[in-house]
């Protein structure tokens, strides 16, 4: 039995396949903890749902390494025209090429306005 434990320890922990610390999980939970304190002050169910939607959008943008401000700006800019089209909604997902090219770098919000934003290629 000790031989099995030694082999498992050598193959997992010593090769770096298992994290000794849970700091990554704690960092993810910290933003939720901050939000949880704010959720106590929702006055309606609709307000709580709206907050949960925004929270999930922000966390998804973080997980996909996007600029959060640019992602939300792009969503608010394009989504009203494409919310009823499945291809348009798919193009707004954080893993789509359209979003990655618009929200990974720096965007000039003065030139990206509703009047001159262009169309999605769907």
Q: Report the chain's mean pLDDT, rounded to a whole number.
A: 76
Mean pLDDT, residues 42-58: 83
Mean pLDDT, residues 110-119: 64
Higher pLDDT, 95 or 115: 95
Instruction: Quote the CA–CA distance of 48 and 103 in Å, as a whole number.
Output: 27
Contact 82, 92 (CB under 8 A): yes
Higher pLDDT, 23 or 97: 97
The residue count for the chain: 122
Contact 89, 51 (CB under 8 A): no
DSSP 56: H
Nearest to 31 by CA among 68, 85, 74: 68
Total-model pTM:
0.63
Mean pLDDT, residues 8-27: 64
Check residue 65 and give left, alpha or beta (phi > 0: left; psi -120 to 50: alpha). Answer: left
**Res 83: pLDDT:** 79
**Res 19: pLDDT:** 61
pLDDT surpasses 70 at 119: no
* pLDDT tens digits, 57-110: 888 888 888 988 889 988 888 888 887 888 888 888 888 888 888 888 766 666
pLDDT surpasses 70 at 112: no
- At a CB cut-off of 8 Å and minimum separation 6, what does 118 contact? none
């Amino acid at each position: 039995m000790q031989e099995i434990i030694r082999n498992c320890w050598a193959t997992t922990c010593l090769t770096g396949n298992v994290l000794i610390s849970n700091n990554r999980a704690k960092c993810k939970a910290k933003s939720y903890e901050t939000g949880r304190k704010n959720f106590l002050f929702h006055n309606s169910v609709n307000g709580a749902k709206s907050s949960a939607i925004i929270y999930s959008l922000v966390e998804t943008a973080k997980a996909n390494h996007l600029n959060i401000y640019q992602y939300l700006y792009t969503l608010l800019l394009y989504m009203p025209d494409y919310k009823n089209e499945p291809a348009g909604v798919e193009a707004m997902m954080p893993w789509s090429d359209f979003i990655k090219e618009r929200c990974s770098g720096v965007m000039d919000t003065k030139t990206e306005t509703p009047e001159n934003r262009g169309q999605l290629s769907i």
